[in-house]
Amino acid sequence: MHTVVVGTSGVTASDVLAVARDGARIELSGEAVAALAAAREIVEALAAKPEPVYGVSTGFGALATRHISPELRAQLQRNIVRSHAAGLGPRVEREVVRALMFLRLKTVCSGHTGVRPEVAQTMADVLNAGITPVVHEYGSLGCSGDLAPLSHCALTLMGEGDAEGPDGVVRPAGELLAAHGIVPVELREKEGLALLNGTDGMLGMLIMALADLDTLYKSADVTAALSMEALLGTDQVLAPELHAIRPHPGQGAAAANMLAVLKGSGLTGHHQDDAPRVQDAYSVRCAPQVAGAGRDTMAHARLVAERELAAAVDNPVVLPDGRVESNGNFHGAPVAYVLDFLAIAAADLASIAERRTDRLLDKNRSHGLPPFLADDAGVDSGLMIAQYTQAALVSELKRLAVPASADSIPSSAMQEDHVSMGWSAARKLRTAVDNLARVLAVELYAASRAIELREGLTPAPASRAAIDAVRAAGVQGPGPDRFLAPDLAAADAFVRAGLLVTAVESVTGPLQ
């Protein structure tokens, strides 16, 4: 079992993926334990003073003006967790909750939160035991952290609320902790607040989306290349010298990928009736420009994620000189913006893929292919309704591209009067990523069938490898009409698992 060691200087995206998706174990470094203890000493010294310190000896949010006496502070910390665990709606996915908890642990271990080492160790123990708090869809405004989602996680550390065990069964959290020999934490000054104040949910979903989109953008280059072949398009537009004079890195990478897939093709440039086209349609010719812009958007989003992974997001924070200072670092705007940017890019990538699919099915624009790629058009409908499904997905992606971060709704009696809505941006991006995979699966299904209908013409070796692999995965080729949904589902699973990229790379080597 892979082990991730958490220190004081943050973690990597691969660490997050290992814990969230692969169940990696977590250890706290000696450096982290020492930093936790040192920061805790500062908090306890401030707690002993008569002057109020926000988060240590005061209420929270709009109630921050009340000074809390020492005998009520443990109750204060318990109460903030209980009252803030106010989520509603469907359960959030297990991988999202694990990322959320792990990233909060990352910040706790920075030594800037004032949380005791034993609380951090309990967080690691819960993750290592495979216990997943029940977190709900709604409750975060993406400011003051992902409050409700993180509160549900903190509630589990206290042995309250519900959680899912490693067997997938939801039980009372106290029972699960006891079954794994984990003692519930008794929160002290500042600890309840420190467990709630982070952008961890939206950041975790950003990191996972970037990992998925990396595969999908390569897949999109492959499906675009297959469609170009099937439409007898020209690959001259992919020449490196053309992209060098508009030096967007993503565009150059997308064009290079498509050119690698098409190397040795007997279809590109083989125009119907030997009548060359001056230019292919935009959806074919401009594929690298659209996919490239999305790649460059991903590069910016990855930079933001890396910065956030290195950050300690809490309020107040413990500084090395012993001060405990309030701040606004919990505001999710930096993460929210890029989550929305990625949803816009995903929608556009899906949109151009759908246009290529529609072109493959239209006998007036497909350059000799049968209507709807049907076996006996009229008797058979072919892939007519597969394109309907793809169009419905694209329309949904366009709605999901409307930015959440452009919205704000005041809360906490106008104390928190501007919020990021970053959690909402992350939730809709997850749906957008899923739908993008489905759209590309339909294009793959159509383009592979179209290439096989080009009798007498030989596709590129990489294209042949992709088609052979998708057929081996249970996606059938041309023929009379049949129950189509299973084929589309198999193509979706094939794309989503990265198998399309793997098949092509067996011929081309690594794609960019």
410 token code pair? 């005041």
Q: Closest Cα to residue 383, out of 298, 291, 450? A: 450
User: What's the pLDDT at 405?
Assistant: 96
Phi-psi region of 253 (alpha: psi -120 to 50; beta: other; left: phi over 0): alpha
The total number of residues written for the chain in this structure: 512
Chain position carrying tokens 């030989």: 458
The answer to whether residues 217 and 257 touch, using CB atoms and an 8 Å cutoff, is no
> What are the backbone dihedrals phi and psi of residue 444, each rounded to the nearest 5 degrees, phi first?
-60, -45
- Which distant-in-sequence residues (6+ apart) come within 8 Å of 484 by Cβ? 383, 385, 386
The set of catalytic residues is 54
User: What's the pLDDT at 412?
Assistant: 85
CA neighbours closer than 13 Å in the CB half-sphere of residue 438:
22
The answer to whether residues 176 and 131 touch, using CB atoms and an 8 Å cutoff, is yes
How many other CB atoms are there within 10 angstroms of residue 310's CB atom? 13
* Rounded Cα gap, residues 444 and 357, in angstroms: 9
Q: Decide: residue 472, CB within 10 A, 0-12 exposed, 13-18 middle, 19+ buried.
A: exposed
Prior bond to 316 cis, omega within 30?
yes
* Rounded Cα gap, residues 382 and 371, in angstroms: 8
pLDDT in tens, the chain (512 residues): 799 999 999 899 999 999 999 999 999 999 999 999 999 999 998 888 888 877 777 776 667 778 888 888 888 899 999 999 999 999 999 999 999 999 999 999 999 999 999 999 999 999 999 999 999 999 999 988 899 999 999 999 999 999 999 999 999 999 999 999 999 999 999 999 999 989 999 999 999 999 999 999 999 999 999 999 999 999 999 999 999 999 999 999 999 999 999 999 999 987 655 566 678 999 999 999 999 999 999 999 999 999 999 999 998 899 989 888 889 889 999 999 999 999 999 999 999 999 999 999 999 999 999 999 999 999 999 999 999 999 999 999 999 999 999 999 999 888 888 999 999 999 999 999 999 999 999 999 999 999 999 999 999 999 999 999 999 999 999 999 999 999 999 999 999 999 999 999 999 999 99
* CA angle 145–147–202, rounded 5-degree value: 55
* Rounded Cα gap, residues 491 and 487, in angstroms: 6
345 token code pair? 């890019």
User: What's the pLDDT at 234?
Assistant: 92
The answer to whether residues 421 and 336 touch, using CB atoms and an 8 Å cutoff, is yes
* Rounded Cα gap, residues 258 and 296, in angstroms: 17
Phi-psi region of 184 (alpha: psi -120 to 50; beta: other; left: phi over 0): beta
The answer to whether residues 400 and 350 touch, using CB atoms and an 8 Å cutoff, is no
Q: Decide: residue 136, CB within 10 A, 0-12 exposed, 13-18 middle, 19+ buried.
A: middle
Three-state DSSP class for 6? Answer: strand
pTM across the whole model: 0.95
Q: What share of the chain is helix, strand, coil (3-state, %, to 5)?
A: 55, 5, 35
User: What's the pLDDT at 304?
Assistant: 98
* Rounded Cα gap, residues 124 and 290, in angstroms: 42
The answer to whether residues 369 and 360 touch, using CB atoms and an 8 Å cutoff, is yes
305 token code pair? 């994620």
* Rounded Cα gap, residues 218 and 414, in angstroms: 45
Show the DSSP H helices in 231-319 as ranges: 240-244, 249-262, 282-285, 287-309
Three-state DSSP class for 453? Answer: helix
* Rounded Cα gap, residues 95 and 99, in angstroms: 6
- Which distant-in-sequence residues (6+ apart) come within 8 Å of 378 by Cβ? none
What is the rounded end-to-end Cα distance, in angstroms, of the chain?
30
User: What's the pLDDT at 271?
Assistant: 64
How many other CB atoms are there within 10 angstroms of residue 4's CB atom? 20
User: What's the pLDDT at 62?
Assistant: 67
Chain position carrying tokens 């020449």: 239
Q: What dihedral do alpha carbons 384, 390, 396, 398 form, nearest 10°?
A: -110
